[in-house]
Amino acid sequence: MEIIKTHYNRRSFLKVSAAAGGGIMIGFNWLMSCAPSQEKAGLAMPDEWFDINAFLKIGNNGVVTIYSPNPEIGQNVKTSMPMIVAEELDVDWANVLVEQAPLNTVKYTRQLAGGSQSLRQGWKSLRIAGASARRMLMEAAAKQWQVSVAELTTDKGIIKHTSGKSVGYGEVASQAVSVAVPEEIPLKDPKDFKIIGKATKNVDGKKVIKGEPLFGLDVQREGMLIAMIVHAPAFGMRPKSVDDSAARSMPGIKDVFIITTLPDGIEAQWSDVNAFKELVVIVGDNTWNVMQAKKALNIEWETVSAPMSTGSYNKALSELLEKKADTPARKDGNPDEAFKKAAKVIERTYSAPFLSHNTMEPMNFFAHVTADGAELIGPIQTPEFLRKTVSSVIGLPEDKVTINMTRQGGGFGRRLYGHFGLEAAVISKKINAPVKVVYTREDDMTQGTYRPAYKVKYQAAIDKNNNLVGIKIRGAGIHESPVFANRFPAGAVDNYLVENHALESNISTGAWRAPRSNFMAIAEQCFLDEVAEALGKDPIDFRLELLERAATNPVGQNNDYDPARYAGVLKLVKEKSGWGEKKNGVHRGVSAYFCHNSYVAQVLDIVMKNSKPVIQKVWCAVDCGIVVNPEGAKNQLEGGIVDGLGHTLYSEMTFTDGKPDQTNFHNYKLIRNSEAPLEIECFFVENGVDPTGLGEPGLPPAGAALANALYAATGKRLTTQPFYKEEMTISPM
């Protein structure tokens, strides 16, 4: 049992309990007429709810509603975060309802979905929320019975006294609201967990299979209009004028105009990334009518900055790879000397294209702005940042801007950048009506905020005794270099040099599921495979040797990984996959990567069929500390692997004079059902460490394990993504 001070969260509890006064009924006015059903099958609704703290309310019949604070983008936090509250509250999960909390920075901290951080950063506060509510309920019962709290225990929402009498949470909830928030609170010993660690089904599962309106695009309101935007056809352009005469006369069309979403003088936040701040807007009564009229607009565009083409930025990035950086990002030992003396040098350059996020639900947002306030509803990973920008652009104080988050049809980083929400607010203010902004797939795919195009050059120096003595890494990318200076194998090699270059561009980029790692894992893990081969070593043993060095006698400072946990997942995957066994016609590859605080190692088997790989199985070993929801965790890992394999193999955005060449799924290929692995098996390291997230870490290693397996099959090292282009030229040995 761990005793924890509730202090750092005290402010929010005090606020809430003060506001809750003596058990007033609360309930968020969630969405609109066609709101999804709130009930859980077979669960009776209480007559009265008692607001215990920001995270939960308890009904007079013992039913509990837990508010999930963070945006749900498919990473399953709407199930896993409430599980943590329910665990410490000590209730039966069958009696728990879950609701998405609206944005409320007084009650909650970090209502953001990004960096796989929700569980890691929410872990303590969610436990405190559950544990302190439990304590307040126990105190209420103790007072009623005139006994000491020490004589009470709880189980599944029932408080029991040593004398044998018992009472349900629902019966004392009305008293608990006026109990002072405890200053210190004991937390459960993880070995006593009953909900955490149990496979728990997605709380929205039933609603999704019935097609209930859960997503931003499903929002409907009385009098709501539909708006679509037209952004410039190429990066570096903006609208000059619009001839809307034909469009205006088409059925259902209400208005056409040009807007600037971020006027001069408004300070942009990091989340305001947007290449197209000037937009043509068309408003009408339904989506199809607006789509049709949109095609009838005659827009004149003007060039404001030089357009880029794929050939031109690729050449510029390659040139950067030949240039020394002014200051290295990391330097250990004397890399130049080591390379000069080397008996053998291995060099390999890897590259990857721009990628679009392509969340299955395209960008959209609802807004209703009046003189008194702004109401926004929709899919957003950064509601707090959106509110700030909307507040300054619309000219309303932040407390007059409300944001409700819907379930989100994918995030992957795309909805960190809330320009679509801002656009909805600006448009609603202008037309003085409730409006839903809807992007077509084409609008979405050509809008930017892409995973940047990257290149990296790896060099390894091997001395005459066949030892790896030096590594040089030079990276270049659009807006940022992909290389993390202090990640593995930094710390394991005596002479080590990292240099970074960035290329400015008017093509906008943003975080894309496992930013930078999604490329670096592939480059690094393919290169280590090649080095291992040159040294005549088994690829897993070679990695373990490096990690052993980093653990026992690390080189340099700030190595930002734990070599023991890293080695742990490699050893686990080695054992589980039966590494070393040879199967006829089956080729395997391995890779391991650490990002977003979790460690993942994968072994992947392929067989070649008509010169194409069929992925037989992926073994995936993971260290993410305590696994809150094993079912959700496995689903995230499987998805990450499929997503990683698909993008490495098939996907890319290219540009001609600033204009995206890909516009929809007919020319942007995403992985399909038959191309996904036949089997994925996941294994977790059990170490009781506080949990870390899994939305991203499963993805980066997958492409490398595949490339290494393809090398085993064909003898060709793949370096240029998407691999399918190279793969066409390879055939089995």
Partner 1 sequence: MATFKLKINKKTYSLEADPSMPLLWALRDLLGLTGTKYGCGIAQCGACTVHLNGEAVRSCSLPLSAVGDGEVVTIEGLSKNGDHPVQKAWEEVDVMQCGYCQAGQIMSAAALLSKNPNPGDEDIYNAMNGNICRCGTYLRIREAIKKAAAMK
Binding site for ligand FES (CB under 6 A): 74, 360, 410
CA atoms within 13 A on the CB side of 58: 28
Q: Does residue 696 touch partner 1 according to CB under 8 A? A: no
The tokens describing 341, both together, are: 């003396």
From the CB of residue 210, how many other CB atoms can be counted at a distance below 10 Å?
9
Q: Which one, 41 or 209, has the nearer CB to ligand FES?
A: 209
The interface partner of residue 212, options being partner 1, ligand FES, none and the CB cut-off 5 to 8 Å by kind, is partner 1
Does 722 interact with partner 1 (rule: CB under 8 A)?
no
**Which residue number, 251 or 311, has a Cβ lying nearer to partner 1?**
251
The H or E element containing residue 95 is none
Nearer to partner 1, 46 or 284 (CB): 284
x/- track of binding to partner 1 for residues 239-268 (CB under 8 A)? ------------x-----------------
- Interhelix angle for 517-535 vs 630-650, to 10°? 80
Site string for partner 1, 272-311 (x = CB under 8 A): --------------xxxx-xx-------------------
* Residue 430 C-beta: closest distance to ligand FES, Å: 29
In the complex, least distance from residue 536 CB atom to partner 1, rounded to whole angstroms: 36
576 binding partner 1? (CB under 8 A): no
Least distance in angstroms from the C-beta of 664 to ligand FES:
9
**To the nearest whole angstrom, how small is the minimum distance from the Cβ of residue 287 to partner 1?**
5
Q: Does 676 participate in binding partner 1 (rule CB under 8 A)?
A: yes
| Interior/surface letters 221-251, b for 16+ CB within 10 angstroms, e for the rest | beebbbbbbbbbebbbbbbeebebeebbebe
Give buried/exposed letters for 111-131 (b at 16+ CB in 10 A, else e).
bbbbbbbbbbbbbbbbbbbbb
**From the CB of 232, what's the least distance to ligand FES, in Å?**
25
Q: Residue 172: which of ligand FES, partner 1, none does it interact with, CB under 5 to 8 A by kind?
A: none
Candidate residues 16, 177, 214, 468; the one interacting with partner 1 per rule CB under 8 A: 214
- Least distance CB 403 / ligand FES (angstroms): 22
Q: In Å, how far from its chain's centre is CA 89?
A: 28
CB of residue 650 to partner 1, shortest distance in Å: 12
Q: Are strands 225-230 and 158-161 parallel, antiparallel or unpaired?
A: unpaired
CA distance 721 to 733: 22
Query: Cα–Cα distance between 124 and 141 in angstroms, integer?
Result: 26
What phi and psi values does residue 592 have, to the nearest 5 degrees? Answer: -145, 145
Q: Does 8 bind partner 1 (CB under 8 A)?
A: no
**Hey, what are 422's tokens?**
């801002």
* Residue 99 binds partner 1, judged by CB under 8 A: no
Q: Mask 335-364, x = binds partner 1 (CB under 8 A)?
A: -----------------------xxxxx--
Question: How would DSSP label each residue in 367-422?
Answer: EEE-SS-EEEEE--S-HHHHHHHHHHHHT--GGGEEEEEPB-S--TTGGGS-HHHH
| C-alpha 677: how far from chain center | 22
288 binds, among partner 1, ligand FES, none (CB under 5 to 8 A by kind): partner 1
List contacts with partner 1 (CB under 8 A). Answer: 34, 73-76, 201-202, 204-206, 208-215, 217-218, 220, 226, 251, 286-289, 291-292, 358-362, 407-412, 440-441, 631-632, 635-636, 638-643, 646, 664-666, 670-674, 676-677, 679-680
